[in-house]
Structure 1
Amino acid sequence: MEAHHPFTEIQIPQQRFYNSIPFPSVLSPNPTTTTTTTAVQCSVSHLIETIKTQKPFLDSLLHKTGAVLIRGFDIKTAKDFNDVVEAFGYEELSYVGSRSPAGRTNVVGRVFTANELPPDQHIGFHHEMSEAPEPPSKLFFFCEVAPTSGGETAIVLSHVVHERIRHKYPEFVEKLEEHGLIYSLLVGADDDHSYIGSRGWKSTFSTEDKSVAEERATKMGIRLEWMVDGGVKRITGPLPVIMYDKSRQQKIWFTNMVGWQVAGNGPCKTITFGDGKLLSADIRCECLKILEEECVAIPWQEGDVLLIDNWTVLHSRRPTNSPRRVLASLCK
């Protein structure tokens, strides 16, 4: 049988290039001349075998670019997506006890909903579970239902963000490196999926017992202050913000400085320097502006799989008013 190169690297209008390296890299099926061969090339089974045989190439590509979009394959269901994720062979990261403010629901295997927030709400740039003792190293996203407009998962390179912010605000970055950040979040007892920061402490810690919640929180590096209304203030940190990526020998911007701006969780209250001092609102806004200026927002197509290196890429969600279903899988 004649051998074909398994992938074709294509360019799309939204890509950016840093030192001639595309961000993200986009892989599609190898173009063929016959309908039958094309169907085979695009099939999930062929993709799975290709991933297994081309794992060193894919790992190298992800390390070089930070994100890889796999587009044009016949991936239709959560089960298909789960099979694709498992083909990569990365160890699964347990989602129990995650501090995601929105929560996730298991769909099949190691596949979860990306979050439970209404699609018309914006989610700011963040590294997944950046406050956790063991954040995931890689994230997979899969578009099952593509919105007709908006709803993109925007991505941005963390080291590029760090360089720009450090150049503009060197003293601010020095203070971040010295003190880190403290995150404080007021949450209720129960979930309310109508806004970000809405995940209650009962589902966060998988218990209705406050003493058990405190024990589990302590293991996760979280302090709890109970409120008279049954809610709790979750306090985490100080946590490092500027990290060093040894494999790429560069500093990265590993934080979410957006804050939750509802239910008493304004950004000025939510995040402070590790010494307790407030962050400048003007500098915070400028940091978010830099993130937006450097990001890539590719409109989803059904069947897309986006693989992200969580150590070097931040992601966010653009709002949409049309139906949207994006699934996720987290890896150690």
Structure 2
Amino acid sequence: MTHTHAAPRPGPAVRRRSGGRSLFSVSEEWNGATLPALVRADVPGLDLAAWITTNKSTVDELAHRAAAVLFRGFDVPGAAAFQTAMNALSPHVLDYGERSSPRSEVTAGVYTSTEHPADQHIQLHNEQSYTDNWPVRIVFCCELAATSGGRTPLADSRKVLARLRPETVARFEELGVAYVRNYLPGISLSWQEAFQTERGADVDAYCAGAGITAEWLSDTHLRTRQVRPAVRTHPVTGERTWFNHAVFFHVTSLPEEVTRGLLDSLPLADLPYHTYYGDGTPIEDRTLAEVRAALDAETRSFAWQPGDVLLVENMLSAHAREPFEGPRRILTAMADPISDFDTNGRTA
């Protein structure tokens, strides 16, 4: 594999038009942090899609070095402009498959962000790390910022991995993570919504091709189990990264009263989501606490502004959502499935 190693971080750089007028600026350290990097348009009306097309190598280098890039001040008035920017960013914008959260499609490849209640915190996670063909990038666009809260915290997954004890990493690397889901009407997503089909045979075919064990307990109750690695290697940079939903899908990551209610009312095997080591043994409380502490230590955030677009290098940065007040509308799109990359980090 060809590895691209991170270069020393330069200071803020400014590109200028002929005549000396500032067109845009790139800051790899701002707001007291280096995650995300910031690309700011310095003239009104600058088209983001056109800028990305002209500066694709700059975008890729920033994303790989910083793990996420915030584009601010560009002309991105809504879903259509965001979709155009996504098409400039990648030739392969994805549909949302094997769903784990409710979202609505706004336009082709563009969805609302996870539609959980505003008072709930969505914990840090790497998008669809439980699948076998995850998006290498996930991108967000702010149409309307919340009155308060509602940030999208980030955590560098390379640094999270480095904070974990070697013995913890070794155990996860040896065993992987087992994800057990139960699709139960009224409790979790139905299998019809998760797999976007009304036919059980379609689900069976998908699971067979994706390394998922599917068990039909009734016409409305499907249980699935899949084992995935906890540590992955980025296909371009060659860096090892903590890339999984081991903590996110663990029942103890829910609000305490929800965890207690589920455990009081359902057998452990019927929980909507739960995780184990890949051999089926429970993940120890102390290990869950260690991972949560590493995630907390690396968490960074910024306040959204309307028109902001956030590119997250999904294998290098986890993302989350704070609770919020007031209306908030963040759009999202996913791109570059891992299956598009060959062993040298090139896209097919």
Taking structure 2 as the reference length, the TM-score comes to 0.80
Q: Residues 1-332 of structure 1 correspond to what in structure 2 (within 5 A)? A: 2=18, 4=21, 6-10=23-27, 12-13=30-31, 15-16=32-33, 22-30=34-42, 41-45=43-47, 47-95=48-96, 98-165=97-164, 169-189=165-185, 198-228=188-218, 230-237=220-227, 239-245=228-234, 247-256=236-245, 257-259=247-249, 260=251, 261=254, 263=262, 264=266, 270-332=274-336
| Percent of pairs with identical residues | 29
Structure 1 contact 268–281 (Cα < 8 Å) conserved: no
Q: Rate the CA distance shift 1:42–1:87 in 2: closer, same or farther, 3 A.
A: farther
Count of residue correspondences: 303
Distance 1:321 1:43 in 2: 30
Query: Which 10-residue stretch deviates more, 84-93 or 172-181?
Result: 84-93
Once the two structures are TM-superposed, the CA of residue 265 in structure 1 deviates from its matched residue by 8.9
- Between the aligned partners of 1:89 and 1:274, the Cα distance in structure 2 is 33
Offset at residue 44 of structure 1 (A) = 4.9
- Amino acid across the alignment from 1:2: S
**Contact 1:6-1:50 at 8 Å conserved across structures:** no
Task: Give me the whole-angstrom Cα distance separating, in 2, the residues matched to 1:319 and 1:198.
Answer: 21
- Structure 1: give runs of 5+ residues left out of the alignment: 17-21, 31-40
Q: What SS is found at the alignment partner of 2:154?
A: strand
Write the deviation string for residues 4-47 of structure 1: whole angstroms up to 9, x where unpaired: 5542124542x42xxxxx221111113xxxxxxxxxx32153x3
- What TM-score do you get using the length of structure 1 for normalisation? 0.84
Give 1:291 deviation, angstroms: 0.5
Q: 1:268 to 1:286 in 2, by over 3 A?
A: farther
Over 3 Å counting, the alpha-carbon distance change for 1:214 and 1:229 in structure 2 is closer
Separation (CA, whole Å) in 1 of partners of 2:235 and 2:41: 33
The residue type equivalent to 1:26 in the other structure is: L
2:35 touches 2:154 (CA, 8 Å); kept in 1? no
Q: Taking structure 1 as reference, are residues 265 and 258 closer, same or farther at Cα in structure 2, changes over 3 Å only?
A: farther
Deviation sequence 1:216-258 (CA, Å, 0-9, x none): 2222322222234822222111x11112235334321011122
Residue 153 of structure 1 and its aligned partner are, at CA, apart by 0.8
Letter in 2 for 1:250: E
CA distance in 1, matches of 2:151, 2:196: 31
Q: 1:164-213: CA deviations, max 9, x gaps?
A: 01xxx322211111110100022224xx6xxxx83210112222332332
Question: How far apart, CA to CA, are the structure 1 residues paired with 2:240 and 2:35?
Answer: 18
SS in 2 for 1:186: strand
Q: Structure 2 unaligned segments of length 5 or more: list them.
A: 1-16, 337-348
